[in-house]
Structure 1
Amino acid sequence: MKFVRTNKDRLVLISVAGEIAPARMRSPYSVTTEGKVKVIPVLGGITYNVRVGDSAYGWEGDHVEPGVSVMARKKEEEIPFMTLPCIGNEVIVMSGDAKGSRGVVTGKHGGVNHVIVHFDDEVLEKLMVGDKVLIKAWGQGMKLLDHPDVKVMNIDPDLFEKIGIVEKDGKLHVPVVAKVPAHLMGSGIGASSSASTDYDIMALDPREVGVEDLRLGDIVAIMDHDNSYGVGKYRKGMISIGIVVHSACVSAGHGPGVVVIMTGEESVLVPEVVERSNISDYLR
Structure 2
Amino acid sequence: MLKSNRDKIVKWSVQGKIHHPLGGTYRITHNGEPRILPATGGITYNVKLGDPAFGWVGDHVEPGVSIRNEDKSQNAALTTFACVGNEAKVVSGDAKGAKGYVIGVHGGIDHTIIHFEQEDLENMAIDDKILVRAYGQGLALDDYPDVKIQSIDPELFFKLDIKEEDGKLVVPVVAEVPAYLMGSGIGSGNAYTGDYDIMTADEEEIKRLGLDKLKFGDLVLLQDADNTFGRGHYKGAVSIGVVIHSDCVKAGHGPGITTIMSCKQPMIKGKIDSNSNIAKHLL
Same fold per TM (> 0.5)?
Answer: yes
CA distance in 2 between counterparts of 1:88 and 1:220 reads 16
Q: Which residue of 1 aligns with 2:128?
A: 131
For residue 120 of structure 1, the aligned residue among 103, 117, 122 is 117
Write the letter of the residue equivalent to 1:45: G
SS of the equivalent of 1:104 reads strand
Q: Which residue of 1 aligns with 2:102?
A: 105
Q: Is the counterpart of residue 282 in structure 1 residue 273 in structure 2?
A: no
Write out aligned runs for 1:232-243 (5 A): 233-243=232-242
For residue 57 of structure 1, the aligned residue among 50, 54, 58 is 54
Task: For residue 28 of structure 1, report the CA deviation from its aligned partner.
Answer: 2.5
Q: Is the counterpart of residue 193 in structure 1 residue 190 in structure 2?
A: yes
Task: For residue 236 of structure 1, report the CA deviation from its aligned partner.
Answer: 0.8
Q: Tell whether the 8 Å contact from 1:32 to 1:38 is kept in structure 2 after alignment.
A: yes
TM-score (normalizing by structure 2)? 0.96
Task: For residue 214 of structure 1, report the CA deviation from its aligned partner.
Answer: 0.7
CA distance in 2 between counterparts of 1:59 and 1:67 reads 14
182-191 or 167-176, which deviates more: 167-176
Q: Spell out, residue by residue over 1:218-260, the C-alpha distance to the aligned partner (whole angstroms, 9 max, x if none).
A: 00000001100001x2111110000000000000000000001
CA distance in 2 between counterparts of 1:53 and 1:68 reads 14
Q: Tell whether the 8 Å contact from 2:161 to 2:172 is kept in structure 1 after alignment.
A: yes
For residue 40 of structure 2, the aligned residue among 40, 43, 46 is 43
CA distance in 1 between counterparts of 2:266 and 2:16 reads 40
Q: Tell whether the 8 Å contact from 1:15 to 1:137 is kept in structure 2 after alignment.
A: yes
Q: Which residue of 2 aligns with 1:268?
A: 267
Q: Tell whether the 8 Å contact from 1:28 to 1:39 is kept in structure 2 after alignment.
A: yes
CA distance in 1 between counterparts of 2:25 and 2:70 reads 26
Task: For residue 97 of structure 1, report the CA deviation from its aligned partner.
Answer: 0.3
Q: Spell out, residue by residue over 1:29-80, the C-alpha distance to the aligned partner (whole angstroms, 9 max, x if none).
A: 2221112222210110100000011111000000000000000252221221
After TM superposition, the runs of 4+ consecutive aligned structure 1 residues lying more than 4 A away are none
Q: Which residue of 1 aligns with 2:212?
A: 212
Write the letter of the residue equivalent to 1:213: K
Write the letter of the residue equivalent to 2:126: V
Q: Tell whether the 8 Å contact from 1:17 to 1:73 is kept in structure 2 after alignment.
A: no
Q: Is the counterpart of residue 12 in structure 1 residue 10 in structure 2?
A: yes
Write the letter of the residue equivalent to 2:75: E
Q: Which residue of 2 aligns with 1:179?
A: 176
Q: Tell whether the 8 Å contact from 1:24 to 1:45 is kept in structure 2 after alignment.
A: no
CA distance in 1 between counterparts of 2:271 and 2:164 reads 12
CA distance in 1 between counterparts of 2:60 and 2:266 reads 34
- Unaligned 5+ residue runs, structure 2? none
Identical pairs, percent: 48
Q: Which residue of 2 aligns with 1:258?
A: 257
CA distance in 2 between counterparts of 1:97 and 1:73 reads 22
Q: Is the counterpart of residue 78 in structure 1 residue 75 in structure 2?
A: yes
Q: Tell whether the 8 Å contact from 1:240 to 1:263 is kept in structure 2 after alignment.
A: yes
Q: Tell whether the 8 Å contact from 1:184 to 1:201 is kept in structure 2 after alignment.
A: yes
Q: Tell whether the 8 Å contact from 1:19 to 1:73 is kept in structure 2 after alignment.
A: no
Q: Which residue of 2 aligns with 1:228?
A: 228
TM-score (normalizing by structure 1)? 0.96
SS of the equivalent of 1:260 reads strand
CA distance in 1 between counterparts of 2:236 and 2:275 reads 25
Q: Is the counterpart of residue 69 in structure 1 residue 36 in structure 2?
A: no
CA distance in 1 between counterparts of 2:234 and 2:62 reads 30
CA distance in 2 between counterparts of 1:76 and 1:116 reads 18
Q: Which residue of 2 aligns with 1:247?
A: 246
Give the total of aligned pairs. 280
Q: Which residue of 2 aligns with 1:145?
A: 142
RMSD over aligned Cα atoms: 1.2
CA distance in 1 between counterparts of 2:271 and 2:237 reads 15
CA distance in 1 between counterparts of 2:235 and 2:166 reads 23
Write the letter of the residue equivalent to 1:262: M
Q: Spell out, residue by residue over 1:107-161, the C-alpha distance to the aligned partner (whole angstroms, 9 max, x if none).
A: 1001111000000001000000000111100000000111011000010000001
Task: For residue 174 of structure 1, report the CA deviation from its aligned partner.
Answer: 0.3
- Unaligned 5+ residue runs, structure 1? none
CA distance in 1 between counterparts of 2:28 and 2:226 reads 31
